[in-house]
Structure 1
Amino acid sequence: MAQAAPTSGGMPRSGRTPDVFSARMHARARVAIPIVTGLIYGDWAAANRRSGGPITGWNLLFGFVTAFVFAVVLFAVLTYSPRLPRELHAVVWTAFMGIAFGFLYSQTGEAIIRSIGMSVAVALVTFILMFYRFYTHEDAAGHRIR
């Protein structure tokens, strides 16, 4: 049976895909991603709070304030948490995701105990996934593998 011969082209020898975006695009994305994500989150929170009712000025204000706070906190998490050891890095993401989900869920009008239980479940899954990701992307000394 015939097999394909190896070629010299393709993936770089390091195993990483090439970076196709410039440093300027990365700098823009570092600011744009939290802003866009914050706007989506703020809209979602405002929609949960009004429960399908009419859009009011207070509802718009609530959405924009929520979007601003979420974007600022997400920017801080993205900026400062990579400097932490993998355990604390995972804990920071766990707290962020648990609180963010709990806040969204509490806006639906459900009981506070159910909101806490759901956010703890989301936080637990987030911790497991993030710790695994950070643990598998660092060497034994705790340096990130690039």
Structure 2
Amino acid sequence: MAQAAPAPGGMIRGGRTPDIFSERTHAVAKVAVPVVLGLIYGYWAAANTRYGGPITGWNLLFGFVTAIVFAAVWMGLAALTPRLPRELHATLWGAFTGIAVGFLYSLSGRGHSVLSSAGLGVAFAVVVGGVLFYRYYTHEDAAGNRIR
């Protein structure tokens, strides 16, 4: 029985995964993903500030302002960080994640201290920053250039 000889690079030619989405889809996703995640984050923050009470106008305003800030910072980081070295790239995304988690935790209960919110935020920042540093480090060539 005949078998095909293995091709270098496996089933993917050139060592890259195929891009199944068009340029237009990527352009829409570049805006849609931060906006949707911002709305989810803003809803979560507004729900935390209600403490199970009624929805008020100030609560809605807080949620939308939080969503706008979250989405704006996400888009700013997404535009800025690809041009930075891997250490700073991972540190900024880790810090963003830590700040976001710590902020939500500080809103979630009346008995949480600033230190517990900051500690949880720092813990998330360290873990996310470490994971992203590993990912960015392993996706470079020997000269330190990103493989795209």
TM-score (normalizing by structure 2):
0.89
Match of 2:39 in 1: 39
Residues matched between the structures, number: 144
Shift of 1:17: 2.5
Shift of 1:13: 1.9
Match of 2:48 in 1: 48
Match of 1:126 in 2: 128
Amino acid in structure 2 at the alignment position of 1:43: Y
Match of 1:61 in 2: 61
Note if contact 1:95-1:123 (Cα within 8 Å) is conserved in structure 2.
yes
Mapped partners of 2:52, 2:98: distance in 1: 25
1:113 matched to 2:115? The reply is yes
Mapped partners of 2:87, 2:47: distance in 1: 35
Note if contact 1:93-1:127 (Cα within 8 Å) is conserved in structure 2.
yes
Mapped partners of 1:135, 1:53: distance in 2: 47
Match of 1:78 in 2: 78
Instruction: Name stretches of at least 5 consecutive residues in structure 2 with no aligned partner.
Output: none
Mapped partners of 1:139, 1:16: distance in 2: 14
DSSP-derived class of the 1:107 partner: helix
Mapped partners of 1:7, 1:69: distance in 2: 54
Mapped partners of 1:140, 1:91: distance in 2: 22
Mapped partners of 1:86, 1:17: distance in 2: 22
1:13 matched to 2:13? The reply is yes
Mapped partners of 2:97, 2:12: distance in 1: 35
**Percent identity over paired residues:** 64
Note if contact 1:11-1:17 (Cα within 8 Å) is conserved in structure 2.
no
Shift of 1:140: 2.8
Shift of 1:47: 0.8
Shift of 1:16: 2.5
DSSP-derived class of the 1:14 partner: helix
Note if contact 1:86-1:131 (Cα within 8 Å) is conserved in structure 2.
yes
Alignment CA distance shift 1:7-1:47 (3 Å)? farther
Backbone CA RMSD of aligned residues: 2.0
Mapped partners of 1:27, 1:41: distance in 2: 22
Equivalent residue for 1:141, pick from 103, 125, 143:
143
